[in-house]
Structure 1
């Protein structure tokens, strides 16, 4: 296990722009505000979504594309540095009108409405390649 204590710096409430990409807007906020590390939660709705699922045996992501309106029942993630750029590691639980839930790593989603709470850390988080998982994980 790797852990360290972090101190928080700033906090933001964010309304995402309709028609923009959910994750890209989080990354844009981080770049504009100079955030090197943060934790966020959110909710709202998307017009479509691409959700990734990591196959632990193959060590590859599989994409599932949903070209339909979905509620963002829950969204959680963190911002860190990946190759010198802000990266928003984003997971979401999405729901259909029937109440069926879809969940996973939210790679992309066209925002219909989105609201976030973002808490910035004073310390940076940098992602580096982890041989065991074949993922870029923060230290």
Structure 2
């Protein structure tokens, strides 16, 4: 395991804009506030969503689209740089009206209502391509 000790810096709470994209708003917030690395938690509801599943054999992301109202039961992720821009690596657990859930890498979702807690780190983290996994990971 590779690791880096970090200190917590600024902390934020935020309300996502109704009708905006969940992940895009996190990335715009990070750019506006100069947040280069952070961890976040979120919850709320979305009007639709696209999640991605990473096939480890194919080294490809496969999308699943949900065009329905969903509860954002849990959303966790981190912010770091990818190709010089803020990237919100976002995973989510969402539920339908009947209580069934699904989860994955959140690519996009139209916000109905959303709240976030963001904790900035005192480190710069830039994602880089990892040959072993085919993913853009932190090179610690």
Q: Give the TM-score normalised by the residue count of structure 2.
A: 0.98
For structure 2, the residue ranges without an aligned partner over 5 or more in a row are: none
Partner of 1:122: 122
Look up the match of 1:41.
Answer: 41
Residues 81-126 of structure 1 deviation map (CA, whole Å, 9 limit, x = unaligned): 0000000000000000000001000000000000000000011111
Q: Following superposition, which runs of at least 4 residues in structure 1 exceed 3 angstroms of deviation?
A: none
* SS of residue matched to 2:30: helix
Number of corresponding residues: 139
Aligned counterpart, 2:104: 104
Deviations 1:39-95 (A, max 9, x none): 000000000000000000000000000000000000000000000000000000000
Counterparts of 1:63-82 in structure 2, within 5 Å, are 63-82=63-82
Which residue pairs with 2:113 in the alignment? 113
The whole-number CA distance in structure 2 between the counterparts of 1:125 and 1:111 is 27
Matched position secondary structure for 1:52: strand
Aligned partners of 1:23 and 1:90: how far apart in 2?
A: 7
Q: How far apart are the structure 1 equivalents of 2:72 and 2:92?
A: 7
Instruction: Give the secondary structure class of the aligned counterpart of 1:87.
Output: strand
Counterparts of 2:84 and 2:118, CA distance in 1: 20
Give the C-alpha shift of residue 8 in structure 1.
1.0
